[in-house]
Chain A
Amino acid sequence: MADDTQNLKTTPLDALHREYGAKMVPFAGYAMPVQYKDGVLKEHLHTRAAAGLFDVSHMGQARLHGAKAAEALETLVPGDIAGLGAGNMRYTLFTNDTGGILDDLMVTHCGDVLYLVVNAACKDADFAHLQSNLPDNRLEIIEDHALLALQGPKAAEVLARYIPAVRHMVFLTGAAYHINDIPCFITRSGYTGEDGYEISIPAAEADAFARLLLSEDEVMPIGLGARDSLRLEAGLCLYGNDIDETTTPVEAALNWTIGKRRRAEGGFPGADVILGQIKDGTARRRVGLKPEGRAPARGGTEIQDMGGNAAGTVTSGGFGPSVDGPVAMGYVRTDLAEPGTKVNLMVRGKALAAEVVKPPFIKQNYVKD
């Protein structure tokens, strides 16, 4: 078939993807594998049953230096970064002055530096935002490292064959390790609802290490298609779909990312709006939606209340292979946000009955201690 991935950036695993029969698509300026030979359904189920290897090298990686890096970063995000202990990792958001979300990111406290992972489509803007707002903190953009994610219940067993110590990591922690003398930075984290790791490894070594992992019986390469269905079942937001500059953390039901101290002190962009919404509520809220029957409701689908009034929009929706049925999330009028509320999803002109539910749609299998 015609290859529409010319003139795109490639990741260090490009040759590997093509060798493994990946269907390559343009994503955030990169040629990325959307699926391999076995297809999205098998890849999704395999990740939940054993282990999946994802190339997420398109994502932005950086280190924020400086003695007061955590305090500095707190001027741009509502998360408690100063309270993050060494080796710990946290999900947070870049907000704007109106309380909208510029991007979501993971921050790991590495002792003398903060390690950041941001979305591919936002990385240039995020890095410019950091550099212009935090001129006293050097931002080291990491462009010579790949990022691999190994996800699934067998991820720990597999990775421990190469680095025994990773077995003892707790979810949402990170540390530096060596893989066959190659220095890498590993976090126990992911975007699938499963246990797993993200491995930042020098670009020149990534292909060889990915092949080692893929040589393990439990591991299969997984494309962006299954990455999306896995994160949707796990109830995790996709930036650009479920959250963006027009949604606030409170509307997005991400209040939990704003720590107690930050609520009391403020001091992040849009704090007046966001803290006001925590206190007074919002007109709409992000919820999980479980359509009855088998028909998926995709992003953009109108949500109606039982009286036939427009009441919101689906932001992500599709078929959940592990749920074995359709799953979705979207924004509804706050009076409909209570789990158990019945709504209609307008799919191809017909009202599809659905229930508001609290994500995740699957049991999350994180290793918490």
Chain B
Amino acid sequence: MTVKYTKDHEWVCMEGDVATVGITNYAQEQLGDVVFVEVPEAGTHYDAGAEAAVVESVKAASEVYSPLAGDIVEGNQAVADDPSLVNSDPEGEGWFFKIKPDNPSDLDTMLDEAAYKALLAELD
């Protein structure tokens, strides 16, 4: 299991040949109370950086980008039904989608935990 991060405050957890994607705790704190989530349908292909999901707080709408090119295996229906999961458990039950990357090696270019923490430290 490998966990990586993006500069857009998403996390990617690779298990086998499937990556689970969500937003980080920092991202949910910035968003505030999440009131609406739209997740992608299984079978859809996204390029890296394409808008794959939507997350809306009371204040604003934001996009969740697909950090990797690949096919969606599953969108998290639980988070669509109960968007507050994004706030209460952003890096667990509040995941957005599972994607099968076209090139699992794309993960290597993403931030590891230390690099992501360094990024957060700069934002503080």
Distance from A198 Cβ to chain B, minimum over Cβ atoms (Å): 23
Which residue of A has the minimal Cβ distance to B51?
A: A348
Q: Are A295 and B36 in contact (CB under 8 A)?
A: yes
Q: Which residues of A in the span 39-69 have a Cβ within 8 Å of any Cβ on B?
A: 39-42, 44
Distance from A41 Cβ to chain B, minimum over Cβ atoms (Å): 4
Q: Are A318 and B59 in contact (CB under 8 A)?
A: yes
Per-residue interface assignment for chain B, residues 27 to 49, with 1 indicating a CB less than 8 Å from any chain A CB and 0 otherwise: 00010110110100000000000
**Complex CA–CA separation, A85 to B52 (angstroms):** 58
Which residue of A has the minimal Cβ distance to B31?
A: A39
Main secondary structure of the interface of A (DSSP, over half): mixed
A319 within 8 A of B: yes
- Collect the chain B residues with CB atoms within 8 Å of residue A34's CB: 59
Distance from A323 Cβ to chain B, minimum over Cβ atoms (Å): 11
B54 within 8 A of A: yes
B112 within 8 A of A: no
Most buried by A among B33, B38, B60, B61: B33
**Complex CA–CA separation, A41 to B28 (angstroms):** 14
User: Taking A318-B58, A318-B59 as contacts, is the C-beta distance between A225 and B32 under 8 angstroms?
Assistant: yes
- In this complex, the interface size class of chain A, counting residues with CB under 8 Å from chain B, is 20 to 34
A264 within 8 A of B: no
Most buried by A among B36, B38, B58, B124: B58
**Complex CA–CA separation, A226 to B58 (angstroms):** 8
- Collect the chain A residues with CB atoms within 8 Å of residue B58's CB: 40-41, 44, 225-226, 229, 318-319, 321
A296 within 8 A of B: yes
Q: Are A1 and B36 in contact (CB under 8 A)?
A: no
Q: Are A296 and B32 in contact (CB under 8 A)?
A: no
**Complex CA–CA separation, A348 to B61 (angstroms):** 11
Q: Are A225 and B38 in contact (CB under 8 A)?
A: no
Interface residues of B (CB under 8 A from A): 30, 32-33, 35-36, 38, 54, 56-61, 123-124
25 example contacts (A-B, Cβ-Cβ < 8 A) are as follows A2-B123, A39-B32, A39-B33, A40-B33, A40-B57, A40-B58, A40-B59, A41-B35, A42-B33, A44-B58, A225-B32, A225-B58, A225-B59, A229-B58, A294-B35, A295-B36, A296-B36, A296-B56, A296-B61, A298-B60, A298-B61, A318-B59, A319-B36, A319-B57, A326-B36
